[in-house]
Structure formats: C-alpha cells, structure tokens
C-alpha cells in the first residue's frame, strides 16, 4: 500500500514536471516570437530612416550641382 502511494506521488510529480516544462517552452517560444517581431519593426524603421536620408541627400546634391553651374 505504502509503495503504491509513493509511486503515485512520483508519477504525479513527473507529470507536473512535464507540464511545467511544456509551459516554459511555450512561454519561451512566445517571448522569442515577440522579440523577433520587435527586431523586424526596428529594421523597418531603420530602412525608412535610411531611405529618407538618402532622398534628402540626393536633393542636396542636386542643389549643389545647380549652384556650381
């Protein structure tokens, strides 16, 4: 009787461990996905800024050329 009780306790403990591990994995995956999304957003912002700077730079170059003539 006592042995069975202990066995059941161990089984429950293991079941909970597995459950906890899967939950942790899921949480980690969610966190990773969120991080990836943030990185993508940052990259897009950087690209936009670069594009804007490039366009502004081109305009400045054009004005510089027109003053030389």
Does pTM top 0.85 for this prediction?
A: no
Task: Record the tokens describing residue 57, joined without a space.
Answer: 């730079």
Model pLDDT, residue 11? 92
- C-alpha 50/C-alpha 40 separation (Å) is 15
C-alpha distances in angstroms, 68 versus 56, 58, 61, 62?
19, 16, 11, 10
C-alpha pair distances (Å), 34 with each of 5, 31, 49: 43, 5, 23
Under the banding of pLDDT at 50, 70 and 90, the label for residue 69 is very low
pLDDT tens digits, one per residue of 18-28:
998 888 888 99
- The mean pLDDT value of the chain amounts to 81
Residue 50 predicted with pLDDT over 90: no
């Amino acid at each position: 009787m006592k042995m069975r009780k202990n066995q059941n306790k161990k089984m429950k403990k293991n079941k909970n461990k597995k459950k906890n591990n899967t939950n942790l994995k899921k949480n980690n995956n969610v966190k990773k996905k969120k991080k990836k999304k943030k990185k993508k957003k940052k990259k897009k912002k950087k690209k936009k800024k670069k594009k804007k700077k490039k366009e502004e730079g081109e305009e400045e170059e054009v004005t510089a050329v027109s003053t030389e003539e």
